[in-house]
């Protein structure tokens, strides 16, 4: 098979042996795979793949058709349209995935959208609801809301009945984020004056932390899932204590199978119906064929985009 391949902190396309599905796994013939910040970090040598995932083939999400079924795999049959998150190896023509990590592709969703759905909506749903415990009527602040996880979080927050505020640095993208359901879209500078917020989803990193504490409501929750702008900051614990606040942080990639399966079942039950009724969508910034994967990574890092960058396998 052909696959995106990391060599000396660059990404290109190389041939690899076809994977074989093990017990409980299916072999997916991949049609599309989204890019994520973790792929950029892995390319730079800062985020190695977890044990059991290819060390040199990036890609945390995929969508495609079941090409073969391993022993004891029962959820899907050959030809079924599936999508899911993986520890790595998603940006390839084939990938062996445990069936419990996979979900059916909603009817009517095209391959590019399906390939850009699993990681960002799983991450956003887990962070906002499982970690942040957002409830209807509460106030949600989403930093970096024009990116893939941000656009997912804005839609999920609005869909649950929360009041959603978003920060977006690119002025030309603010109307787009508002169209996805944000009640307010702000420049990041001075966002703390618009609080208080019950849940703050931090996708940017350490520079926002002090202002997040100022903007936090009593009993509020900050959930950190992105540190692209920096990972180290000083915390005024007296402010956190005074607001009886919670500071949480989370990643998905290294979680064990049981936990990944739980997030997939939650997504199936609570999120995928929104793609059937049209209340949720996957905004696509750009799609690239596998042969242009290097250009896809360049476009991802350029900034100013809305939504997902997706690699299509054809």
3-state class (DSSP) for residue 302: helix
Measured between alpha carbons, how far is 227 from 304 in angstroms, rounded to an integer? 18
| Closest to 308 in 3D by CA, of 32, 55, 28, 4 | 32
Cα–Cα–Cα angle for 65, 69, 72, rounded to 5 degrees: 140
Tens of pLDDT, residues 40-73 = 999 999 999 999 899 999 999 999 999 999 999 9
Ordered by where they begin, the domains of the chain are 2-117+280-312 (3.90.180.10), 120-249 (3.40.50.720)
Residue 17 has pLDDT above 80, yes or no: yes
DSSP 145: T
Measured between alpha carbons, how far is 297 from 91 in angstroms, rounded to an integer? 12
Tens of pLDDT, residues 125-154 = 999 999 999 999 999 999 999 999 999 999
Tens of pLDDT, residues 284-314 = 999 999 999 999 999 999 988 899 999 999 7
pTM of the model: 0.94
- What is the separation, in whole angstroms, between the first and last Cα of the chain? 13
């Amino acid at each position: 098979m052909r696959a995106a391949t990391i060599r000396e902190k660059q990404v290109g396309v190389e041939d690899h042996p076809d994977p074989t599905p093990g017990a409980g796994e299916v072999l997916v013939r991949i049609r599309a795979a989204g890019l994520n910040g973790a792929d950029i970090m892995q390319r730079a040598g800062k985020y190695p793949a977890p044990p059991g995932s290819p060390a040199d083939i990036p890609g945390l999400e995929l969508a495609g058709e079941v090409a073969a079924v391993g022993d004891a795999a029962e959820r899907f049959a050959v030809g079924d349209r599936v999508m899911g998150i993986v520890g790595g190896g998603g940006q390839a023509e084939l990938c062996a995935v445990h069936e419990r990590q996979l979900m059916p592709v909603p009817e009517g969703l095209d391959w590019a959208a399906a390939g850009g759905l699993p990681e960002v909506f799983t991450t956003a749903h887990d962070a906002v609801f499982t970690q942040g415990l957002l409830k209807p009527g509460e106030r949600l602040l989403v930093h970096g809301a024009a990116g893939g996880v941000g656009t997912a979080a804005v839609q999920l927050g609005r869909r649950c009945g929360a009041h959603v505020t978003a920060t977006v640095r690119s002025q030309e993208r603010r109307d787009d984020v508002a169209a996805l359901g944000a009640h307010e879209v702000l420049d990041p500078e001075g966002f703390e004056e618009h609080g208080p917020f019950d849940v703050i989803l931090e996708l940017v990193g350490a520079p926002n932390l002090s202002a997040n504490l100022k903007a936090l409501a009593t009993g509020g929750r900050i959930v950190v899932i992105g540190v692209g702008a920096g990972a180290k900051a000083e915390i005024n614990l007296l402010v956190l204590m005074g607001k009886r606040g919670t500071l949480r942080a989370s990643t998905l990639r290294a979680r064990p199978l049981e936990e990944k399966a739980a997030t997939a079942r939650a997504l199936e039950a609570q999120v995928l119906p929104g793609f059937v009724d049209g209340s949720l969508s996957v905004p696509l910034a750009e799609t690239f064929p596998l042969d242009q994967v290097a250009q896809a990574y360049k476009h991802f890092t350029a900034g100013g985009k809305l939504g997902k960058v997706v690699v299509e396998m054809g």
